Structure 1
Amino acid sequence: PLGMVDTAFHVAPDKVDRFCANYQRGPDKALKLIDDPETSHFTRDPAFKSGGGGLTGTTADYMRFCEMLRRGGEMDGVRILGPRTLEMMHMNHLPGGKDLTQLAIGTFSETANEGVGFGLGFASTQGVVETGALGVGDYYWGGAASTIFWVDPKEDMTMVFMTQLMPSGTFNFRGQLKNLIYSAIVE
């Protein structure tokens, strides 16, 4: 319904020529190809389609999804989510208003944990001082290859950043990008 024609759990054969390679940065700072588009497992339809990851897509498709969120759950006259449902989704649902540092299990995370709450599918910035990043009230999530999107209802802003670098913590792309963008806002 959003016209996301390039988003799927696998890349169709006629679209493989547009599929990007994925790289890993080694200790010597050299890039190593870890997922060649021609032989990628993403070119085969998976038997299990995860509700929490594994999609492929384009920046344009991802932006349409994020714009639907920014517009309160509707895009081009198509209602995907109710505005109250969306608002509930990006509220902090962690018990007692805690952040992820107090409740996260394990060391893997697509986001920093300090000052970050979690709703129904999104992380959310709870405090500027704790996170070291601007944008209280935004909601966001990152992908495995260092990608990230965020939606900020207060600033009426959507941002999508795409890259192909593993692991996602190799560089602080996300924090740097967020601080650069928010620091440029003057109104």
Structure 2
Amino acid sequence: MTTDFESRLQAAVAAGEIAGATAVVVDRDGVAFETAKGLRAVGGEAAMTPDTVFWIASMTKAVTSIAALQLVERGVLDLDADLSGLVPEFRDLKVLEGFDEAGAPRLRPARRAPTLRELLTHTSGYAYGFLSPDLLRLGGPVNTGTKADYIQPLQFDPGEGWVYGVGIDWAGFVIEAASGQSLDAYFAEHVFGPLGMADTAFVPGPEQEARRAGVHARLPDGSLAPIPFAMPQGPGAWSGGGGLFSTARDYGRFVRMLLNGGELDGVRLLSPQTVDLLSQVHTGERRAGAWKSALPTMTNDVDLFPDMRTGWGLATMITPEAGPNGRSAGSLAWAGLANCYYWVDRAAGKGGVFMSQVLPFGDAKALELFGALEAEAYGR
């Protein structure tokens, strides 16, 4: 029987509003629902399938956060310690305070280095250029595949605000320095291998590449156009903030691990106490998870819950109130730039993943479909 969500997804595909998408709903015991509709790329012939591979962008952040918290549990890292001994770049951080009349940046020394807690909660001061007109004006390297991509001045002193940015990429460098492993090797050994996430990696293998969905741009008339897309290849600087490729099936296993308090199929990644800790808001009264765009080709203005004071935990956004489509208060959620989304409702024991590939982020049609998937999961 075709569900309401499947009908709406198929209608969106037929109308050319979306090329295609995959989705799963999971509970603590397994997959409750799975579907794939449409094509992997506009103008192509390959159909979307449940094992289609997507660039999941910032859905990488939760994986990096879990990896960092594993090292905290082992006593290798501390959430609130000085990290400048592990990351030399933290010893000479600057805060950007605007530009003088001649157009030169006004920089001053940061009062201190960010902590791991601040990197994970986006309170470090590190921003994304597509959210910061000042960083765009400053310019700098983009997608060179090296650590230099992430060297930039802070927007404020660590701990003094909230801004979405590359802090979790720096958390990835912290993991590498503390563990002695490259980030891809650490993930493979400590996250993807234990969880059976065989289709998740920074660099898809040939078999995964053959199943990859194309990335599209939403044009002014609402239509879609395929666009060239590739992440920098090689070990220069694995992006712990946005570099992974995965499938809805694989990420559904990651969601199930969180639903089960850090364990899946008898394999434990985190203690229940740590999962409880990451599920708490660590940003106080600061509004987290909403922004104004500085680069409309990358992201729209975004406020996923305009009537709610959302916060940020140690891995995800947290919605402290019940959501309009069924999720419980205290649920975890986040997304990837090309309009992939997930939620983790630990109270109800449900979660879901929706994957598409269209820019800019915050696409109205993708968000509508993600909302319909969530409503389907709760029988709304």
Give TM-score scaled by structure 2 length.
0.42
Aligned position for 1:44? 233
Question: Residue type matched to 1:75 in 2?
Answer: L
Partner Cα distance (1:183, 1:76) in 2: 26
- Tell me, in whole angstroms, the C-alpha distance in 2 between the residues paired with 1:151 and 1:157: 6
Q: What displacement does 1:28 show?
A: 1.6
Map residues 28-177 of structure 1 onto 2, 5 A cutoff: 28-35=221-228, 40-42=229-231, 44-45=233-234, 47-95=236-284, 97-100=285-288, 107=293, 112=304, 114=306, 115=308, 116-128=310-322, 134-135=326-327, 136-171=329-364, 173-174=366-367, 177=370
> Which residues of structure 1 form unaligned runs of 5+?
none
* Inter-partner Cα distance in structure 1 for 2:302 and 2:238: 20
Deviation at 1:174, TM superposition (A): 3.3
Cα contact 1:73–1:82 (8 A) shared by 2: yes
Are 1:24 and 1:165, in contact at CA under 8 Å, matched by a contact in 2?
A: yes
After TM superposition, which residue ranges in structure 1, 4 or more long, deviate above 6 angstroms? none
Deviation at 1:60, TM superposition (A): 1.3
Name the SS for the 1:9 alignment partner. Answer: coil
Q: State the one-letter code of the partner of 1:117.
A: G
Q: Which AA in structure 2 matches 1:76? A: D
Distance change in 2, residues 1:186/1:159 (3 Å):
closer
Percent identical:
34
- How far the C-alpha of 1:180 sits from its partner, in A, is 6.0
Name the amino acid aligned to 2:338.
A
Q: Which runs of 5+ in 2 are unaligned?
A: 1-193, 294-298
Structure number with greater Rg is 2
Q: CA deviation at 1:68?
A: 0.6
Instruction: Tell me the distance in 2 between the aligned counterparts of 1:185 and 1:178.
Output: 11
Tell me, yes or no, if the aligned pair for 2:217 and 2:359 is still in contact at 8 Å: yes
Other structure's SS at 1:18 match:
coil
Say which SS state the counterpart of residue 311 (structure 2) adopts: strand
Residue 94 of structure 1 contacts residue 117 of structure 1 at CA under 8 Å; is this kept in 2? yes
SS in 2 for 1:142: strand
In structure 1, what is the Cα distance between the partners aligned to 2:213 and 2:304?
Answer: 26
Alignment: residue pair count: 178
Question: RMSD over aligned Cα, in angstroms?
Answer: 2.7
- Return the letter of the residue paired with 1:169: G
Length-normalised TM-score, structure 1: 0.81
The CA deviation at 1:167 is 1.2
For 1:120, give the aligned amino acid: L
* Structure number with higher relative contact order (C-alpha < 8 Å, ≥ 6 residues apart): 2
Higher mean alpha-carbon deviation, 105-114 vs 161-170, is at: 105-114
| SS of equivalent residue, structure 1 residue 67 | helix
Q: 1:25 to 1:99 in 2, by over 3 A?
A: same
